Amino acid sequence: MAKLSTTMMLLVAGGALLSVVAAYFITSAPAGNARIQLMPNDTELVSLGGAVYVQNCAACHGAALQGQANWRSRMANGRLPAPPHDETGHTWHHPDNYLFAVTKYGIEAMIKNTYPNNMPAYEDQLSDREIIAVLSYIKSQWPRKIQRQHDQISQRSSNQ
């Protein structure tokens, strides 16, 4: 019976930790808790984002946002290839705040642990506006249906 109680306590503690990590991913934003909102219909911002994408993202994620081949399978070094940022990838499955945070700070800073990946943190290379611009550019390339679904994902996360 004592072993069962210990197991249950570990499961509850693990679940609580996962909840904290998930909440951080969903709510991370610049300037405290400011809500990030991508603007795929802002032509000036999207134009800036396209230029930022070409200079900083296209080498890995592809000029047409197609990502690298076999992006779901780890390479020999344990890292994953760059995923696509078009509608075939998982980028649009994440809310605006998460996309901003992972681009600015990197996944390791967010999870406070090492994680084998090739995605650099852009905190020291790009301004917040440039990060929002490049993410807005990426979103502007998605079909309208995917943009609407992404809007709903972002809205749900901001209500939590």
The pLDDT tens digits of the residues spanning 89-101 come to: 999 999 999 999 9
DSSP assignments along 19-85, one per residue: HHHHHHHHH--STTTPPP---TT-HHHHHHHHHHHHHHTHHHH-TTS---TTTTS--TTSPPPPPP-
**Residue (of 103, 92, 94) closest to 128 by Cα position:** 103
Reported confidence tier of residue 34, pLDDT bands at 50, 70, 90 = confident
Stretch 130-157: mean pLDDT? 97
This prediction's pTM: 0.78
Domains in the chain: boundaries: 2-158
CATH code, residues 2-158 = 1.10.760.10
